[in-house]
Structure 1
Amino acid sequence: MRLGGRLQAAIEVLSEIDTRHRPVPEALKDWGLSHRFAGSGDRGAISNLVHDALRMKLSHGFIMDGDQPADLAIATLLRQWDLTPEALAASLDGDRFAPEIPSVEHLDACLARDLSAAPAHVQADIPEWLAASFENAFGEDWIAEAQALTARPPLDLRANTLCTSREQVLEAFADQGAIPTRLAPHGVRIESGKGPERQIAATSEVSFARGWFEIQDEGSQLAAALVGAEPGEDILDYCAGGGGKSLAFAAAMQNQGQINAYDADRRRLAPIVERMRRAGAEIIQIRERPSNLAGLELQMDRVLIDAPCTGTGTWRRRPDAKWRISDKNIADRMADQDKVLDAAAVYVRPGGELAYVTCSLLPEENTDRVKAFLQRHPEFETISLKQRWGSVAADPDAPVPYADQNLGLLLSPRRTGTDGFYFAGFRRKI
């Protein structure tokens, strides 16, 4: 397919998402099934166009003075794929599958519009009603922080030190331009492509089958490292999901001790079985049901809560979620977070630690939940994270990314080059 066909396809998918409120993966999959002539390169380019358009939906609409799917797709090519109006018109000339586009003169006039004249939330490319929460989280930098969420994310890998080293993983992906992550000591980064370029399928590599690495954002790697798991300890991963952080613990603990992996939705635990085998993680015990946790009360050295949240910190990867979030979503997640904090706290031994992690940037889900937990549980106190951050972050010059009132750490694409993550630590008083 030429650019015109790809542009028309992206417009069709964006229309489907807009009119039928469908998730992006479903809309893209259905388009591919009904257009089987499209090759993998075409599907990848169309996916990139759709995701890029949604990342900057509001500012594209402002620049184009219209927010229809065609406006967004055309703006994406001009503003994110760096095509000039002249180059775009030339690429579409004579392409019978290309949509009609405005004149070069009109597009030049659009690009000349001053985005700084737009409302703050439009500059930030976030829903207007969330602007106050972002400002509470980041102060005067909130617009720049939100804008950093509009970039494509990199592909981050965590080298599995149970069977290899970061150097070996870097060598395995040298042809893809792999570099060490700046902060996570075992991380490997492959930067995102530009324009139609697709991200590599890392899980198709032989090194993945050998267990050399797991796909894990650098922020998630840092959150796992901040828990401070050490060899010989008893750990409870209370919201384990697919087990990414449990696997990171097993490597940090050198397969010495015990990790209990539990999730309220036991179906989410299913992938951990194969991941454990591949990684050589021998100390993870899967706890499928609440009854399987009996006897662990007040016994755990460390308990991790990777809490259910709105996922605002992952908007680079799921930009459509940015436009679906609601007040009810936040209220529901806050209730879930309080519930799991109370439930998991009972397993922490005296002197043991409780770690609270979200992939959200909103204070309502982060510092507000920490304050509420401390009011309900005076038997816990917060722990200082400055020294732990210094021992975890590979870059000694990296500033500590404190959250508001120093209640935990707040990672973000602009601050740390990672997805958005919040981390807070508590200790049960002796």
Structure 2
Amino acid sequence: MRLGGRLAAAIEVLQDIEARRRPVADALKDWGLAHRFAGSGDRGAIGNIVYDALRRKRSYGFRMGGEGPADLAFAAVIDGLAMAPEELRAALDGDRFAPEMPAAERLEHFRAADLAEAPDAVAADVPDWLAPHLEAALGDDWIAEAAELSSRPPLDLRANTLKADRDKVIRALAPFDAQPGKLAPQAVRIAAIAGAGRHPNVQIEAGFQKGWFEIQDEGSQLAALLSGARPGEQVLDLCAGAGGKSLALAAQMDNTGQIHAADSDRHRLAPIHERLARAGARNVQIHDPREDMAGLFGTMDLTLVDAPCTGSGTWRRRPDAKWRLSQAALDKRMAEQDAVLDRAARFVKPGGRLAYVTCSLIAEENAGRIAAFLDRQAGKGFGVADAGARWADLLPDAAGQCRVGELSGGTVITMTPRLTGTDGFFFAMLEKR
């Protein structure tokens, strides 16, 4: 397909998303099934246009003078492919599949518009109602922090030390210019794609099939590292999902001790079986959602809660989610977070730890939930540990690369794309004294 056909296809997908309010991945998949003539390169290029358009929906709309699917798609091509409007016009000339170019004055407006004159929420590329939430969480530079959530993300991997080391993984992925991550000791990074490129499908690589590495954002790896799971401990991963953090903890614990992996949704938990086998993780026991786990109450050295959340920290990868998010959905997630924290508390033994993690940058889901938990659990011995000091001990060269906030006599950590170079994550450690 030529650029005109790819642009027209992106507009069609954006129209489908707007009309049906459906996830972008579903819309792109359906388009591909209905247009089987499109090759993988075409599908990747179309996906780039769609994702870029959704990442910067409001700022592109401000600069283009409209937020229609065609407006956003043209803006994404001009920005994403670094094409001047004149170059784009020349590239589409004679292409019978190309959509009609916007008027010249609109393209000139796009080129000349200054986001410094835009409303804060527009410059930050977020819905109006979310602006005060993010400002409260991220402070004076919240607009720059939020805007970074509209950039293209890298592809992060974690070398599985049960089967390989990071150097071995980097050598195996040399054709993709894999590099060491900046912070997590086993992180491997393939840079964000440029132009019409696409990330490699690393899951078909021999190293992945052999269990040498897993796909995992570096921020998630850092959260597992900060949890401090030690060889020989009893650990509960209460919201294990597909098992990413359980796998990281198994390697961190050198396959010793016991990790109990549980989740309330068996569909989310299903992939963990294959992943554990591939990784060679032998110290993980999987618990069925219907299983009575009362026998584990008060026995865990570490209980990890990777809580259900709005996922605002992952907007680089799922930009459509920020436009579907509502106050009602946020309220629902907060109620779920309260419930899972209260359940997790029952498993922590005296002297044990409770690690709380979200991939959200909204304060109400993060420090707000810890403060509420401490109020509900008053007199039960829980206190906030100094996560900032732990970050400094583990990563002495990474000072200033996360946000450290004070809370109830301890500190909590927020990682962001702008400061940490990862997805957005929140981390708090509670100790049962």
TM-score normalized with structure 1 length = 0.97
1:29 aligned onto 2:8: no
Distance 1:403 1:103 in 2: 49
Unaligned runs of 5+ in 1: none
1:298 aligned onto 2:298: yes
Offset at 1:172?
1.0
Which amino acid in the other structure matches residue 34 of structure 1?
Answer: A
Which amino acid in the other structure matches residue 205 of structure 1?
Answer: E
Q: Secondary structure at the match of 1:229?
A: coil
Aligned to 1:422, which of 396, 405, 426? 426
- Equivalence for 2:317: 317
Q: Taking structure 1 as reference, are residues 136 and 334 closer, same or farther at Cα in structure 2, changes over 3 Å only?
A: same
Q: Tell me the percent identity.
A: 57
Offset at 1:404?
5.9
Equivalent pairs, count: 429
Q: Secondary structure at the match of 1:99?
A: coil
Q: Secondary structure at the match of 2:195?
A: coil
1:408 aligned onto 2:412: yes
Offset at 1:23?
1.4
Offset at 1:244?
0.6
Offset at 1:361?
0.4
- Equivalence for 1:20: 20
Deviations along 1:160-209, whole A, 9 cap, x unmatched? 00111001111111221111111111000001211210111010100001
Q: Secondary structure at the match of 1:413?
A: coil
Write out aligned runs for 1:82-93 (5 A).
Answer: 82-93=82-93
Distance 1:235 1:168 in 2: 29
| 2:63–2:113 contact (8 Å) kept in structure 1 | yes
| 2:405–2:413 contact (8 Å) kept in structure 1 | yes
- Equivalence for 2:212: 212
Distance 1:133 1:208 in 2: 39
Distance 1:274 1:20 in 2: 34
Which amino acid in the other structure matches residue 415 of structure 2?
Answer: L
Distance 1:4 1:400 in 2: 42
| 2:402–2:416 contact (8 Å) kept in structure 1 | no
- Equivalence for 2:145: 145
| 1:137–1:404 contact (8 Å) kept in structure 2 | no
Offset at 1:407?
4.2
- Equivalence for 1:245: 245
Offset at 1:233?
0.3
| 1:158–1:214 contact (8 Å) kept in structure 2 | yes
Q: Secondary structure at the match of 1:298?
A: coil
Which amino acid in the other structure matches residue 165 of structure 2?
Answer: S
1:389 aligned onto 2:391: yes
Distance 1:415 1:93 in 2: 42
Q: Secondary structure at the match of 1:267?
A: helix
- Equivalence for 2:351: 351
Deviations along 1:385-419, whole A, 9 cap, x unmatched? 13321233374445452136564100110110000
| 1:177–1:190 contact (8 Å) kept in structure 2 | yes
Unaligned runs of 5+ in 2: none
Q: Secondary structure at the match of 2:419?
A: helix
- Equivalence for 1:189: 189
Distance 1:68 1:23 in 2: 18
Distance 2:26 2:398 in 1: 43
Q: Taking structure 1 as reference, are residues 400 and 91 closer, same or farther at Cα in structure 2, changes over 3 Å only?
A: closer
Q: Secondary structure at the match of 1:291?
A: coil
Which amino acid in the other structure matches residue 194 of structure 2?
Answer: K
- Equivalence for 1:224: 224
Distance 2:213 2:292 in 1: 29
- Equivalence for 2:74: 74
Q: Secondary structure at the match of 1:304?
A: strand
Offset at 1:79?
2.3
| 1:298–1:349 contact (8 Å) kept in structure 2 | yes
Q: Secondary structure at the match of 1:214?
A: strand
Distance 2:109 2:312 in 1: 33
| 1:183–1:394 contact (8 Å) kept in structure 2 | no
Worse-matched range after superposition: 4-13 or 111-120: 111-120
| 2:250–2:283 contact (8 Å) kept in structure 1 | yes
Distance 1:268 1:13 in 2: 27
| 2:386–2:411 contact (8 Å) kept in structure 1 | no
CA RMSD of aligned residues (A): 1.3
- Equivalence for 1:266: 266
Distance 1:154 1:395 in 2: 22
Q: Secondary structure at the match of 2:404?
A: coil
Deviations along 1:23-65, whole A, 9 cap, x unmatched? 1111111111111111110011001100000000001001011
TM-score normalized with structure 2 length = 0.97
1:176 aligned onto 2:180: no
Distance 1:394 1:57 in 2: 38
Distance 2:278 2:111 in 1: 50
Q: Taking structure 1 as reference, are residues 291 and 34 closer, same or farther at Cα in structure 2, changes over 3 Å only?
A: closer
| 1:308–1:333 contact (8 Å) kept in structure 2 | yes
| 1:184–1:394 contact (8 Å) kept in structure 2 | no
Worse-matched range after superposition: 94-103 or 42-51: 94-103
Distance 1:315 1:8 in 2: 25
Q: Secondary structure at the match of 2:310?
A: coil
Which amino acid in the other structure matches residue 56 of structure 2?
Answer: M
Deviations along 1:86-130, whole A, 9 cap, x unmatched? 110010001000011024554123210122111110000000111
Offset at 1:149?
0.3
Q: Taking structure 1 as reference, are residues 105 and 359 closer, same or farther at Cα in structure 2, changes over 3 Å only?
A: same
Which amino acid in the other structure matches residue 256 of structure 1?
Answer: T
| 2:219–2:415 contact (8 Å) kept in structure 1 | yes
Q: Secondary structure at the match of 1:145?
A: helix
Q: Taking structure 1 as reference, are residues 396 and 308 closer, same or farther at Cα in structure 2, changes over 3 Å only?
A: closer
| 1:185–1:393 contact (8 Å) kept in structure 2 | no
Q: Secondary structure at the match of 1:189?
A: strand
Worse-matched range after superposition: 130-139 or 18-27: 18-27
Distance 1:66 1:404 in 2: 42
| 1:337–1:365 contact (8 Å) kept in structure 2 | yes
Distance 1:404 1:46 in 2: 44
Which amino acid in the other structure matches residue 381 of structure 1?
Answer: G
Deviations along 1:307-338, whole A, 9 cap, x unmatched? 00000000000000010000010000000000
Distance 1:247 1:110 in 2: 46
Which amino acid in the other structure matches residue 109 of structure 1?
Answer: H
